[in-house]
Chain A
């Protein structure tokens, strides 16, 4: 019982309480309001606000188990299957990615797994890229119109397909990289910081290398993240792990801290030009924070590796939606019939089910 009144459950409970009261109040106010013709009914407003929160909450929860960032799921799905303007979606996507990073920052810092020095060092480069990427997105949206919208969807479709394949095959990651030579610049930065590794019951001190090279990689990652409104943990983790020799778990923890820190730079161009619409973005933010907190508290203990396959299937389906919508906007193809959407969904769903069955058998 006393656990409920201690951090982090205390703040989780307070937030849940405020959330429930808020949605009850929203229901009461929207239910009693007479709306003008041509505007949305109160019930529909409540439905959207709750739907956005619920989707964001679900994305945050499954992202924790699946090890795939919320932004990578949110932005492609919304771009593929909703008529909402791409800049508004990408701006909100950056909020989703950023707040999932921000809420994980506290526990990672307190636990000692994340390394603030590496995070600040990388953010110095990531921020420049994210800021330039966000500015680029605004320029493209203002000057290329419908063609720009189509091209953005096509480019994101290709990126998402590559990512889904990358997640499927695992990518080149090394749990404990072996660093043979530490260069003078990396040594001067004093980036290493020992931490207690609970799974090995020992303290890990890790030498690092090639810090100068990681700067270039991280600027590129920031550019991509700022432009497309994606979280970029999928690129930040291997950049630290493969180039610098950061242990995998530390790199993953740093990536959350870095996204929270770096996207504070990338998100402002969107906020200042009005692409972040407060009432539209707020439920997504709330869902990420609560879902991230609860996901870490509850679901991280659940053995649910199969969720990864669901998420990869979700990414492939979003990818199909993005490519078909992008080609449609460019006038290359006509509207995709519903039966084709259904067929692609069925094929992906069958492949996902098959993979889950195979995975469950191999686990047991």
Chain B
């Protein structure tokens, strides 16, 4: 421990924190509005909300829930085709929130390049690559 002048917070931290914060809030707002669209227009959903909760509380597994309520699981990125659906819009909010680290890490990597801290450029891109890989589902073992 040592006492010095108040240190300057690295700009890369500010950039990373701001991107994560604002995208998280945006995802949250989308997830507030999505369920309203869902119940207002029950037929405008992949999963009818009025049937959905009954099946979930019967303890059925995820595949069965999608099969019984929606016909079949349309894939995790189904919001790309059904953005105007209530659950499609909500899924978009979830996906946006679940990918926030990717966008923030790319920005952090760029900021580290300008700071010439190359080891963290590589590490930021590595973690961003892991998020992207996970999002694309290329290495799913099931």
Contacts and interface: CB of A to CB of B under 8 A. Distances in A.
Contacts of A40: 50-51, 53-54
Contacts of A289: 24-25, 28
B80 interface: no
Interface in A310-325: none
Interface string B13-40: 1101110111011011101111110111
A138 B50 CA distance: 27
A36 B54 CA distance: 12
B33 A22 contact: yes
A277 B13 contact: no
A102 B24 contact: yes
A275 B76 CA distance: 9
Contact of A286 (B1, B28, B66, B88): B28
Contacts of B2: 203-205
B83 interface: no
A107 B13 CA distance: 10
Contacts of B49: 45, 279
Interface string A117-142: 10011011001100100010011011
Contacts of B32: 15, 18-19, 22, 282, 286
Contacts of A38: 54
Interface in A5-32: 11, 14-15, 18-19, 22, 25-26, 29-30
A45 B119 contact: no
Contacts of A141: 61
A137 to B, nearest CB: 10
Interface in A264-297: 264-269, 271-283, 285-286, 289-290
Interface string B87-101: 110110111011111
B57 A26 contact: no
Contacts of B131: 127, 264-265, 268
A66 to B, nearest CB: 22
Interface in B95-142: 95, 97-102, 105, 108, 117, 119-120, 123-124, 126-127, 130-131, 134-135, 137, 140-142
A45 B56 contact: no
A277 B29 contact: no
A336 interface: no
Contacts of B141: 135, 138-139
B36 A39 contact: no
A285 B28 contact: yes
Nearest to B89: A278
B85 to A, nearest CB: 10
Given A102-B24, A194-B7, A289-B24, A271 B61 contact: no
A131 B130 contact: yes
Nearest to A204: B1
Given A18-B32, A49-B35, A278-B87, 10 more contacts: A39-B48, A85-B56, A99-B97, A106-B22, A109-B9, A112-B13, A124-B126, A124-B130, A268-B137, A282-B34
21 contacts: A22-B32, A42-B39, A91-B62, A102-B97, A107-B21, A110-B13, A111-B9, A120-B105, A120-B123, A131-B134, A193-B7, A261-B101, A264-B131, A267-B98, A274-B62, A274-B66, A276-B94, A278-B34, A278-B94, A280-B53, A285-B97
Interface of B: 1-7, 9-10, 12-14, 16-18, 20-22, 24-25, 27-29, 31-36, 38-40, 42, 47-54, 56-63, 65-66, 73, 75-77, 86-88, 90-91, 93-95, 97-102, 105, 108, 117, 119-120, 123-124, 126-127, 130-131, 134-135, 137, 140-142
